[in-house]
A and B are shown apart, each in its own frame.
Chain A
């Protein structure tokens, strides 16, 4: 079949990212042609500021070199501007006469600088700040002339001014509005910014509009600039940075509907469905975005549609701003000005140069503006994107997420204060310097890309906040925050929620069904989505969907815990941490017989046999003759107990009995992640119930239930759920909560993450207040766990493939 022809006009970041996403989805679908007006391949426009400031070179900011175009079979026309689109004939025509026909056309024409309509605006020495050519000219002028004037005190203007000042020029910034960056900052923050830039030597003229630019005596170069009111100052260079406007002239001449940008729908199509537009030239729901993060989201959706998947939709973005001027910390996002129906929390220390403002509406953070201390900006931004309720943390919200980085990164919680040699990812030994280098040299924009290339934050994830801070510090505004809707993995664009929903509403009971119905890109998924899908299926349709052992991580397939040398650890279950002399004797016998190198008491009150060969596992299980401890699974682990009132002089309740009952009830329970419980017999809490998924504390009059605790990466104290009287109520309430978590949490979320997402009020409503809902949840849990097989004893029923325990020996190789 003949390939369809895709032509792209524009060779910038949004357009080329769309092509990259498309090639990932379907490299064979189109014959691709790209026209670029500039003579360069796609480069990182964001990093022009560091280039101007002398912190990076032009070569370093190329994103796709010419080889990339070649190896992907893309016909590239550099230095050619398209002058006409003939939509009837479906052709485009370039200024040199080149004609190209298309089946689908992608407009990525970007934006044009806004040039003030004043006399002299076309004099040599008056330039915009938009591309490599402008940047080179500024670098050149700085070596020969003294006085620069930048028109526009926005993001771009200030970065230009800073760069020129660093190159030795005397720079004045002229700004029409009352304060700098008025679209990103409030006045207080802007005043602090101005003060700090003045300390760097920049001069400012606010509320000033330009009247004329005047030439030198010879008339061949700019010499002065004159403002309304009569003030005139010398200027050897005038940089117009007073804003950009979508470049729509070509689209308009082709009869495409434009209104402050080429108007596109949620699939990035213009009014002509064969023609798409992405990037700064496009206007989506009335907004033309000028930052990279939203443009990359657009690229993803557009590519999805071009590849004929048709499942992605672009629904707009929340954007944030960060100025890339070394030594100036500034951040703003969302609705930072507030207004009707909003509340503000502010902290101001004008002398210390710190200002923070948070804007709230209906218990949600909707805007933030910060100067001087932006360490928590990524956290605030995340709260905004997730639209998470902040009602419960409101009183400490202003002080930031001070507990990020509990362990694994030397207690650091502010990436900006770290040196290049400091370790950010303690799991994989990745330093800040390595991450910064990878972002710059490999052109990374997202957390996922950093994870892939450096491995930072790809293991336990506790340093994710720090990595996001580094991204933001290096890329400034254009750091692509993890999209609000996070897709499950590269095999699908759907989120965990959407997938769970589809499995439930469509009554899907096999992975093949899920992948077909939901248009999976891969034939059998990957190591990320398969375990999640398997869990979603068996938890949504228990006793109906069939468990697939090959979609489980090795530990759950071998029913033991893999160690770094490929041996396994075996932990038999001791309900409630109780054992018997006979069990201990069998454990000792097994340890000797199989020469177990390490025998260790675990934190969950049981015994771990480490270093067992895989082929020995079935025999070890048989000889232990104890139930599986499921210490290897995303499943119920242990119910830790204290001694309780049977022996302890302080005990008020029978905690051991309660613990054993709970652990028996939950036997074989798989969950989105591991689940740990504890039962203490009195408030002294010797079983450490405060850091468990469900913690139960006996008091004289009954039991207190706590949920969402965690003793791992980030210590989280469990929150009080309710108080109950009887043992049966303990089982019902904790069972109902666990079932809610099992039904609604995303795979690999612990209860603490689930709790943070849905909020305590929601859980109380479902589990405590609504008795019917609680009983239904509890019944569904018991139904699921009915006759749960012991994988160490009932191989067939538990779906354990015992062939895995038989290595095929090849004793003799040679001629037979």
Chain B
């Protein structure tokens, strides 16, 4: 992608340092509450903060590997897809994330689209 479209497409959210390692922050966006996670490898993921099971706040779960365990009924959600790990089934919407020089960006378009 070129530098000119980049500014239009992406919204600056926060810096990586502002997210606890193996933890999360919550964003209040028009699309709803979005959880952004940081794992031990400093990878950043963004998922709608709503477990596909009973709507639990995934941001409050324990982060391990590339997964988070929902605090309400312990479903494991794969952070890269937003989908539940077998044998559970269902997906939370996942959002595209871009990290550049420690700044975390989310897609403007996705931030705007509302989800249940």
Contacts and interface: CB of A to CB of B under 8 A. Distances in A.
Nearest to B39: A524
A119 B54 CA distance: 68
Interface stretch (A296-304, A381-389, A547-555): A547-555
B18 A551 contact: no
Nearest to B66: A523
B40 A524 contact: yes
Interface in A444-463: 452-453, 455, 458-459
Interface string A520-536: 00111111001100000
A566 B18 CA distance: 22
B62 A530 contact: yes
Given A550-B21, A553-B71, A562-B72, A808 B62 contact: no
A527 B29 contact: no
A353 to B, nearest CB: 40
A554 B28 contact: no
B61 A527 contact: yes
Contacts of B11: 810, 813
B26 A524 contact: no
Contact of A523 (B7, B19, B62, B65): B65
B115 to A, nearest CB: 14
A810 B69 contact: no
Interface stretch (A201-209, A538-546, A799-807): A799-807
B27 A523 contact: no
Interface string B7-25: 1100101100011111101
B48 interface: no
A235 B22 CA distance: 70
Given A566-B57, A804-B23, A813-B112, A524 B28 contact: no
Given A809-B28, A813-B30, A550 B63 contact: yes
A564 interface: yes
A603 interface: no
Interface in A772-816: 801, 803-804, 806-810, 813-816
A531 B62 CA distance: 9
Nearest to A530: B62
A558 interface: yes
Pick the most buried of A452, A459, A525, A566: most chain B CB atoms within 10 A of its CB: A566
Pick the most buried of A524, A557, A558: most chain B CB atoms within 10 A of its CB: A524
B116 to A, nearest CB: 15
Contacts of A551: 22, 62
A523 B42 CA distance: 13
A236 to B, nearest CB: 46
B44 interface: no
Contacts of A562: 57, 60, 71-72
Classify the interface of chain B: helix, strand, loop or mixed.
Answer: mixed
Interface in A405-463: 452-453, 455, 458-459
B30 A810 contact: yes
A553 B111 contact: no
Classify the interface of chain A: helix, strand, loop or mixed.
Answer: loop
Contact of B27 (A458, A803, A808): A808
Contact of A808 (B14, B39, B56): B14
Given A554-B61, A562-B60, A562-B71, A807 B26 contact: yes
A810 B28 contact: yes
B111 A807 contact: no
B22 A550 contact: yes
Contacts of B73: 455, 459
Interface string A497-540: 00000000000000000000000001111110011000000000
A569 to B, nearest CB: 14
A525 B64 contact: yes
A807 B65 contact: no
Pick the most buried of A522, A527, A803: most chain B CB atoms within 10 A of its CB: A527
B23 A801 contact: yes
Contacts of B28: 807-810
A806 B28 CA distance: 10
A527 B64 contact: yes
A72 B67 CA distance: 23
Contacts of B61: 527, 554
A551 B64 CA distance: 9
B48 to A, nearest CB: 13
A813 B108 CA distance: 6
Contacts of A564: 54, 56, 72
Given A562-B60, A562-B72, A815 B8 contact: yes
A554 B60 contact: yes
A813 B29 contact: yes
A550 B13 contact: no
Contacts of A566: 56-57, 60
Contact of A527 (B39, B72, B74): B74
29 contacts: A522-B64, A522-B65, A524-B39, A525-B64, A526-B65, A526-B67, A527-B61, A527-B62, A527-B69, A527-B76, A530-B62, A531-B62, A550-B23, A553-B62, A553-B71, A554-B60, A554-B61, A562-B71, A803-B19, A803-B20, A804-B25, A807-B26, A807-B27, A808-B27, A810-B11, A810-B29, A813-B30, A814-B112, A815-B8
